[in-house]
Amino acid sequence: MKLAILGGAGRMGQMLLGCAQELGLEVVATTERPDSPFIGQAAGNGLSYQADWPEAADTVIDFTFHTCVTANLENAVRCRQAYVLGTTGLTEAERAAVDAAAQKIPLCFAPNFSLGVNLLLELVRRAASVLDESYDAEIVEMHHRHKKDAPSGTALGLAQALAEGRGVSLEDVACYGRHGIVGERPTGEIGIHALRGGSVVGDHTVLFAADEERVEITHKASSRAAFAKGALKAAQWLQGRAPGRYDMRNVLGFEA
């Protein structure tokens, strides 16, 4: 596998470069945005940050910013590269570009690549199928003050898993935050709330609150290495796969 790390100077890019080295994986290039002060500077591992598309790679890992994902996907399709996509906050058009690219290249997208969160998704799907709408479901997430999108991609993934577990459409029941005289909570609503502050790597709690009891399932990431190692595992899993859109359920064998 010849890896390229896109956005290598970012928080996740740095972690990916470090973990790839630790695991002995070959990284052939790392990119940054064309106006980045890092272009041309040393990135470790004998590499320097480049703005050009990393054509020498057979697999790219993208933890950048949503506005550049469509162009990145077009380049990967042109170069027939496998694609690990971790960037969140994608618009509807950008999500459509992901689906279009996945018809031509093997692509793994996950709003959260950690093993623990992917287990949490399974637990929430199961809990939502057991705890009916008499249990009010709420999701609370907290991230560091630099995070640009809200709610987190992981919170949206959890909300989707919850809706699937209940057999309802998320857009019919989602409530993103509350403010003002909002009235009583409608039965079946799924509340989603984003907290921002400090250097929190990523906390997610899913609550099911009934009159007589409350179930809370929490995941707390303490290092971005949890995401980086999952993304590198996905990159290895994609080797030799047919074009298609995969996720961590496929990588971890939860679908079996």
Least distance in angstroms from the C-beta of 196 to ligand NAD? 12
Q: Please report whether residue 111 would count as binding ligand NAD according to CB under 6 A.
A: yes
Q: Which residues are catalytic?
A: 143, 147
Q: What is the 3-state secondary structure (H, E, C) of 143-171?
A: ECCCCCCCCCHHHHHHHHHHHHHHCCCHH
Question: Which residue has the CB atom at the shortest distance from ligand NAD?
Answer: 10
| Shortest reach from residue 64's CB to ligand NAD, in Å | 4
Binding to ligand NAD by residue 160, rule CB under 6 A?
no
Q: Is 33 in the site for ligand NAD (CB under 6 A)?
A: yes
Give the residue, chosen from 53, 83, 113, 237, that forms a contact with ligand NAD under the rule CB under 6 A.
Answer: 113
User: How much of the chain is helix, strand and coil, in % rounded to 5?
Assistant: 35, 25, 40
Cβ(49)–Cβ(40) below 8 Å = yes
Confirm or reject binding of residue 112 to ligand NAD (CB under 6 A): yes
Least distance in angstroms from the C-beta of 108 to ligand NAD: 10
Residue 231 CA to residue 62 CA, distance in Å, equals 9
Which DSSP state fits 128?
A: H
Among residues 11, 104, 193, 241, which is the contact residue for ligand NAD, using CB under 6 A?
11
Question: Alpha helix locations (H) across 45-138?
Answer: 69-78, 92-101, 115-130
Query: How far is 52 from 31, CA to CA, in rounded Å?
Result: 7
Contact of 224 with 12, CB cutoff 8 Å: yes
Phi, psi of 106 (to 5 degrees): -75, 130
What are 11's two structure tokens?
């928080």
Q: Under the criterion CB under 6 A, does residue 193 sit at the interface with ligand NAD? A: no
Stretch that binds ligand NAD, among 105-113, 156-164, 181-189, 232-240 (CB under 6 A): 105-113
Minimum gap (Å) between residue 17 Cβ and ligand NAD? 12
Minimum separation from the CB atom of position 128 to ligand NAD (A): 22
CB 235 within 8 A of CB 63: no
Helix (H) or strand (E) holding 234, with range, is helix 225-238
Q: Which stretch binds ligand NAD (CB under 6 A): 7-15, 96-104, 119-127, 156-164?
A: 7-15
Which residue in 208, 227, 237, 246 binds ligand NAD (CB under 6 A)? 227
| Binds ligand NAD by CB under 6 A, chosen from 4, 5, 89, 118 | 89
- The helix/strand/coil state of 41 is coil
Instruction: Based on the shown chain and the rule CB under 6 A, indicate whether residue 139 belongs to the binding site for ligand NAD.
Output: no
Question: Using an 8 Å Cβ cutoff, are 118 and 252 in contact?
Answer: yes
Residues in the site for ligand NAD, rule: CB under 6 A?
A: 6-7, 9-13, 31-33, 36, 63-65, 68, 86-89, 110-113, 149, 227
